[in-house]
Amino acid sequence: MKLANLLFLTAAGISFLGALAHELIGAPMVLDPLQDSGLPEDVIWLHHFSWHVGTVSVLAMVAMFTLAALRENGLVFGLIATVMSAGFAGLGISLAAFGNAALWQTLAPYPWTVIAVLGGIGIRLSRGANAH
Q: Give me the amino acid identity at 39.
A: L
pLDDT digits (tens, 9 = 90+) for 33-62: 999 999 999 999 999 999 999 999 999 999
Cα 125 vs. chain centroid, distance in angstroms?
21
User: CA-to-CA distance for 75 and 79, rounded, in angstroms?
Assistant: 6
Q: Is the pLDDT at 130 greater than 70, yes or no? A: no
- The pTM for the full model equals 0.91
Distance CA 71, CA 63 (A): 12
Phi/psi region, residue 106 (left: phi>0; alpha: psi -120 to 50; beta: rest), is: beta
pLDDT tens, residue by residue, 64-123: 999 999 998 899 999 999 999 999 999 999 999 999 999 999 988 899 999 999 999 999
* Other Cβ atoms within 10 Å of 99 Cβ, number: 10
Q: What is the CA radius of gyration of the chain?
A: 17
Q: Which of 20, 23, 4, 15 is nearest to 115 (CA)?
A: 15
